[in-house]
A and B are shown apart, each in its own frame.
Chain A
Amino acid sequence: MTLLRSIFAHPSGRIGGTIVALYLIIAIMGLVGLTPHDPLMQFRIDRLHAPSATYWMGTDLLGRDVASRLMIGIAQSFIVSFASVALATVLGIVLGLTAAWFGSYWDGTIMRAMDVLLAFPAILLALLIITIVGPGTWTSVMAIAFVYTPIFTRVVRGPALSLKTREFVDAARTFGSSRTYILSRHMLLNLVAPLTVQVTLALAWALLTEAGLSFLGLGTQPPQASLGLMLSEARNLMEMAPWLLVFPAFAIMIGILGFNLLGDALRDILDPRSRGAVA
C-alpha cells in the first residue's frame, strides 16, 4: 500500500502506473471476450473499413475489427512478456543466488556461461532458439526468458555476494538455519527491491522483443493477433489503410513507455542511492 502511494506520488510513476493499469484492464477485457467484436470474425463486406462508430479503429484486409484485435493483441503481448520475465526472474534468482553462495568453480562456470549468452545481440539469440524449436507463443516465451536470464543472474549475484558476508546471515547460520531457509528468507527478501525495478524494466524490453519477433513472423502466429504481427500485416497496406499502422504502433509505444516510466519511478523509490542518476 505504501509502495502504491509512493508510486502515485512520483510524477513518472503516476503516468507509468496509470498506463500499465489501463493496459492490464484492456488485456483482461480482451482475454475474457469483452471486445467490441469477435477478433477473429471476418466481416467480408466491411474489408478495410475506415474507423467509424461500428469499427472504432477500422477493419483489416480480411474485415476483422482492429480494435478487438488490438485488445487481444495487447493481452497476447502481455502474456508472453509476463511469462518470459517470470521465467527469467526465477532462473536468474536460482543461478545468481547459488553462484554467490557456493562461489569458486560453480560461480565461475555460471558467470562465464552468462557472459556467453550476454555476448549475443538479444534478437539474434532469440531467433536462433526459435528456429530450433519452431515459431509460436511459448517458444517466444522461452526465447525471451533465455535472453534476459543473464541480466537477472547478474542483478541477483552482485548484491547477494555482499549480503552473504553480513552479520545477520552469519547469525542465521549459527542458529543452524538450513541453507535453503537462509537463501530464501534472509538473502532473497533483501533482494526484492532491486529485483522489482529490474522486473518492471525487463517487462518493457520483453514487450519490445516480443513485438520484434512477431514482426519478423517468428512469434505469435496468425490468425492470433499480437501487436508486432498486426504491424507486419499493416506494412503493405499503410497508404491505403493507415489505421492498420497507426493504432498498433502507438499501442506498442505507449505500453512500453508505461513500463519504462514505472520502472524509473520504482528505481527512484526503492533504490535511493540512484535517485536522479538517470532521470
Chain B
Amino acid sequence: MNYLTRRLVTFPVVMLGVSVLVFVSIRLVPGDAITAMLGTEAGLLTPAQRASLETYFGMDQSWFGQYWHWLGGVLQGNLGISVTYGRPVLDVILRVFPLTLELALLSMIVALAVGLPAGVYAATHAERPSDLIVRIVAMVGQSTPSFVVALLAIYALSVWFGVLPAMGTFTPLWEDPLKNLAQMILPALTLGFAFAAAVTRISRSAMLDILSDDYIRTARAKGVPARSVIWHHALPNALIPVVTVSGVEFGYLLGGAVIVEQVFALPGLGRTVLDAILQRDYALVQGACCSSRLIS
C-alpha cells in the first residue's frame, strides 16, 4: 500500500479511537451534566424531573448505548445537543469555529511574513553577527509560552502607548472587518510569534542546504544576479520543508489557540472546548474534539 492509501485507511480508525477516548474520558470526569448545568438548583429537581432530563439527554442509557447512539447520529451529520447552549453541537461549533480559523490563518500570515524573510536573511548572512541575532531571537521565540508573550504585549501596550486591547464584546469579521482586525491583531501576533520562530529556523536551514547545491553555483557562475539566485532559484526549493512544517503546525495552531483565546477572552473553539470540559457538556466536548481533529 502506498503512503496515501495507508493514511486513508488508518484515518477512520484513528478518528474512531479519538472519539472513544474522548467519550470515555469526559464521562470519567466527576459530577454529571445536569448538576453542572443547573448548579444548586439541581438539588430541587424531583426524581421524575431528573429522570426525564436524563432521558432527554440520553444519559439513562448504558455508556455503550450512548456511544452507539452518538456514532449513529454523527454518521447522519447530527453531533447531538449541547447541554450548556441548548442548541445542536454542530451549530455551536460552526458559530465559534470561524474565529479560531481566522486566528490561526492570521497567525500563519504573521509567521510566514516574519519568519521567511528572517530565515532567508540569516541564511544569506550565515555566521555573521546579524545571523546570530536572528538565531537568538528565533530561539527565544520558540522558548516563550504564548501566554507570556500575550501578557508582556498587553503590558507594553498599556504602559507605553496607554491603550488596552479591545476585549469583551467580540465583533465578527463579516460585521465590521476593521474592528474585527483591531481585536484580532494582538492575539494573532502572540500566536504567530512562536510559529514565526519555527519558520525562521526551518527556512534558514533549508536555505543554507540549498545555497551550497551545485545548481546554485552554476546559476552564480552564469552571472545571474545574487538577488535573483536567492529569490528565484533557491527560495522555491527551500519552501518545501517550510510548507510541510506550516501544514503540521497549522493543526497545532488550531489547538494551541486554547490559551491565547482564554487570555484575550475570544469566543473561539479552544475556549469553547475548555468551558465545555469544565461544564461537563459531553456532546459538545465530544463533537468539538473530534471536529478539531478532523480539520487538522
Nearest neighbor of B155 in chain A, beta-carbon distance:
A238
| B14 lies within 8 A of chain A by Cβ | yes
- B145-A212 in contact (CB<8A): yes
Partner of B259, one of A12, A212, A245: A212
- B205-A278 in contact (CB<8A): yes
- B10-A231 in contact (CB<8A): no
Partner of A132, one of B29, B143, B255: B29
Interface string of A99-135 (1 = CB under 8 A from B): 0000000000000110111011111100111011010
B69-77, B110-118, B228-236, B271-279 - the one binding chain A: B271-279
| B108 lies within 8 A of chain A by Cβ | no
Q: Which residues of A contact B155 (CB under 8 A)?
A: 238-239, 242, 245
A39-47, A185-193, A255-263 - the one binding chain B: A255-263
Interface range on chain A (Cβ under 8 Å from partner): 35 or more
Partner of A112, one of B14, B135, B151, B270: B14
- A116-B151 in contact (CB<8A): no
Q: Which residues of B contact A131 (CB under 8 A)?
A: 29, 277-278
Q: How many residues of B contact A (CB 8 A)?
A: 48
Are A123 and B255 also in contact (CB < 8 A) when A256-B143, A260-B139, A279-B208 are? Answer: yes
- A120-B135 in contact (CB<8A): no
- B256-A278 in contact (CB<8A): no
Least CB distance, B96 to chain A, in whole angstroms = 15
- B13-A112 in contact (CB<8A): yes
Q: Which residues of A contact B17 (CB under 8 A)?
A: 112-113, 115-116, 119
Partner of B292, one of A121, A127, A215: A121
User: What separation, in Å, do the CA atoms of A208 and B258 have in the docked complex?
Assistant: 14
Interface string of B277-296 (1 = CB under 8 A from A): 11000000100010011000
| A252 lies within 8 A of chain B by Cβ | yes
- A279-B254 in contact (CB<8A): no
Q: Which residues of B contact A119 (CB under 8 A)?
A: 14, 17-18, 293
Partner of A276, one of B28, B148, B205, B262: B205
Interface string of B237-260 (1 = CB under 8 A from A): 000000000000000101110110
- B151-A279 in contact (CB<8A): no
| A160 lies within 8 A of chain B by Cβ | no
Least CB distance, B59 to chain A, in whole angstroms = 18
Partner of A121, one of B21, B152, B254, B285: B254
Partner of B151, one of A204, A231, A260: A231
Q: Which residues of A contact B140 (CB under 8 A)?
A: 253, 257
Q: Which residues of B contact A234 (CB under 8 A)?
A: 151
Least CB distance, B95 to chain A, in whole angstroms = 19
User: What separation, in Å, do the CA atoms of A204 and B144 have in the docked complex?
Assistant: 10
| A235 lies within 8 A of chain B by Cβ | yes
- A212-B147 in contact (CB<8A): yes
| B37 lies within 8 A of chain A by Cβ | no
Interface residues of A in 177-212 (CB under 8 A from B): 204, 208, 211-212
| A216 lies within 8 A of chain B by Cβ | yes
Q: Which residues of B contact A242 (CB under 8 A)?
A: 155, 159
- B205-A132 in contact (CB<8A): no
- B254-A115 in contact (CB<8A): no
User: What separation, in Å, do the CA atoms of A238 and B143 have in the docked complex?
Assistant: 22
Interface residues of A (CB under 8 A from B): 12, 112-113, 115-117, 119-124, 127-129, 131-132, 134, 204, 208, 211-212, 215-216, 228, 231, 234-235, 238-239, 242, 245, 249, 252-254, 256-257, 260-261, 276-279
Interface pairs A-B: 8 shortest CB-CB: A121-B255, A116-B17, A257-B143, A256-B143, A132-B28, A249-B148, A115-B14, A131-B29
- List, sorted by A's number, 22 A–B pairs whose CB atoms are closer than 8 Å: A12-B139, A112-B10, A115-B10, A115-B14, A115-B17, A121-B256, A121-B258, A121-B292, A128-B22, A128-B285, A129-B25, A132-B29, A134-B30, A212-B145, A212-B259, A215-B259, A228-B145, A228-B147, A239-B155, A253-B140, A257-B140, A260-B142
